[in-house]
Amino acid sequence: MKALLCKTIGGPDDLVVEEVSAPSLGPDEVRIEVHACGVNFPDVLMVQGKYQVKPELPFSPGLEVAGDIAEIGAAVEGFNVGDRVIAMTGFGGMREEIVVHAGRCLTMPDEMDYETAASFVLTYGTSYHALVDRGYLSSGEKVLVLGAAGGVGTAAIDIAHRLGAEVIAAGGSDEKLSQLKALYGVSETINYNEEGPELRERVKAMTDGRGADVIYDPVGGTAFQQALRCVNWNGRILVVGFAADSENLPKAATNLLLLKGSSLIGVFWGRFSEIESDRNRANFDRLFQWYAAGELKPNISHRFPLAEGAEALKVLMRREVVGKCVVTLRD
């Protein structure tokens, strides 16, 4: 089978497509014929050797896939050959077949296509867990979404609207913010590359001086420092990631939290999905119900075949993606 391989730590240009042997199947595992693989920022960091997970070389990038079960292990229950599934692989998804533990799989909704399924779990799972489980976002509240045009950002906007919240979308490009208006009906946007230190004043102006009730931050960097200063009383600041600079993490002045009675809350969906797997599956039951009812609108702005998988990582690095990018492996 064909696979996109990282054989040496470097960058997307070092990735190669080669024929590899199919992996063996354990008793608790399923073999999946991969139709599509979602592309995420950790893929970029992993091939550069900068991610906390460092697979043994050679490996394939790809944290999430959608496809058909081709074979099941002797101890697997709840799945059958031919089932359409989504799998959280951790890495290894950019290959024509993958073997994963059955506990990492979810049955695809009938209404969902493979490309959407491959780009849904990480972003919508993270954003639902952040806004609902950790942020307690309520109808009528104001949520500031940083990195709003990215995968988790667009998912956060989509879910916040479904919950009845009002969204301020902040990003670094007027063009992408304009696309968010068209895709999700966002009426209030901020270009924080232009606003700089004035971001907090813009947020206050948009909230009658109160600040945002919930701040969703997958960015970190200087935007995080502004977020500390434009949160409402009893507000919740959700620390989702550090896309701006994963090596120099921002620090919070605790006096700012005290003055606003605000909470700084860590969000680690991957760990949550392992420790609280039943609750995680319940979250996806709800997300899949919303999707089936047409109440969620995942956006895929870029698609690449496996042979161009390196380019998929490049467009992510160049911040060209609005929503998600996927690598397709079958028609």
Angstrom distance (rounded) from CA 78 to CA 295: 28
Count of all residues that appear for the chain in the document? 331
| Per-residue pLDDT tens over the stretch 250-302 | 889 999 999 999 999 999 999 999 999 999 999 999 999 999 999 999 999 99
How confident is residue 176, by pLDDT bands cut at 50, 70 and 90?
A: very high
Indicate whether 72 pLDDT > 90.
Answer: yes
Tell me the pTM. 0.94
Q: Which of 245-249, 289-293, 308-312, 321-325 has the lowest mean pLDDT?
A: 245-249
Q: Where in the chain is the domain with CATH 3.90.180.10?
A: 2-120+298-328
Tokens (6 digits) for 148: 């709003």
What average pLDDT does the segment 87-96 reach?
Answer: 95
pLDDT above 90 covers a percentage of the chain that reads: 85
| Per-residue pLDDT tens over the stretch 219-262 | 988 888 888 999 999 999 999 988 777 777 888 999 999 999 99
| Per-residue pLDDT tens over the stretch 122-156 | 999 999 999 999 999 999 999 999 999 999 999 99
Indicate whether 195 pLDDT > 70.
Answer: no
Q: Which CATH architecture has domain 123-270?
A: 3-Layer(aba) Sandwich (3.40)
pLDDT at 245: 74
Q: Where in the chain is the domain with CATH 3.40.50.720?
A: 123-270
What lies within 8 Å, CB to CB, of 265 at 6+ separation is 134, 135, 236, 237, 238, 239
The pLDDT mean for the chain works out to 94
Indicate whether 196 pLDDT > 70.
Answer: no
Angstrom distance (rounded) from CA 53 to CA 23: 21
Which CATH number is 2-120+298-328 given?
3.90.180.10
pLDDT at 197: 60
pLDDT at 79: 97
Indicate whether 65 pLDDT > 60.
Answer: yes
| Per-residue pLDDT tens over the stretch 5-35 | 999 999 999 999 999 998 899 999 999 999 9
Angstrom distance (rounded) from CA 92 to CA 60: 4
- DSSP-based three-state secondary structure for 318: coil
